[in-house]
């Protein structure tokens, strides 16, 4: 993909980010992460439940590393949505509070919002749930840096 500019119209922006989401980040594809929704500065990403993601076979609870990857993917996509044009970004800091174990067998949904963008750093907050945002599995705060050439 040679044109990394993001269209101004919401439908075109969502389509372009969905392509970048899967093509540019192979582990998103490996975890079957699906970009559900993209707004002007937010993104919703779903991770389906899979046995290979379980951290403890006795409980069936998804491993924290998979939840971290879901949050990072949703947060990075929210940053991309908030930027005027495509830019390479890296995660500077990602603080995650695990609030309760995820229920086995259910997908996890992360909704991230990029609430502030400076010249080089973007600030994001995210929440992970399994169908009810009022019953979060995890919450996070993160910072992402735009990489300049």
| Count of positions (residues) in the chain | 149
Sign of CA dihedral 103, 126, 63, 88: positive
Tokens 């010249």 correspond to what residue?
Answer: 119
State the pTM of this model. 0.89
Q: What is the pLDDT along the chain (149 residues), one digit of tens a residue?
A: 345 666 666 667 666 776 776 667 888 888 999 999 988 899 999 999 999 999 888 999 999 999 999 999 999 999 988 887 778 899 999 999 999 999 999 999 999 999 999 999 999 999 999 999 999 999 999 999 998 76
Say how many CA atoms lie within 13 Å of 61 toward its Cβ. 11
């Amino acid at each position: 993909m040679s044109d990394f500019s993001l269209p101004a119209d919401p439908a075109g922006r969502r389509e372009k980010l969905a392509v970048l989401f899967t093509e540019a980040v192979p582990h998103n594809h490996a975890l079957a992460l699906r970009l559900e929704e993209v707004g002007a500065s937010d993104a919703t990403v779903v991770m389906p439940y899979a046995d290979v993601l379980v951290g403890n076979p006795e409980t069936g609870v998804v491993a924290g590393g998979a939840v971290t990857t879901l949050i990072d993917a949703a947060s990075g996509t929210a940053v991309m949505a908030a930027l005027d044009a495509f830019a390479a970004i890296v995660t500077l800091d990602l603080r995650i509070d695990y609030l309760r174990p995820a229920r086995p067998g259910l997908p996890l949904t992360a909704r991230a919002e990029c609430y502030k963008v400076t010249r080089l750093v973007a600030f994001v907050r995210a929440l992970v749930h399994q169908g009810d945002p009022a019953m979060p599995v995890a919450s996070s705060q993160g910072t992402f840096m735009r990489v300049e050439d």
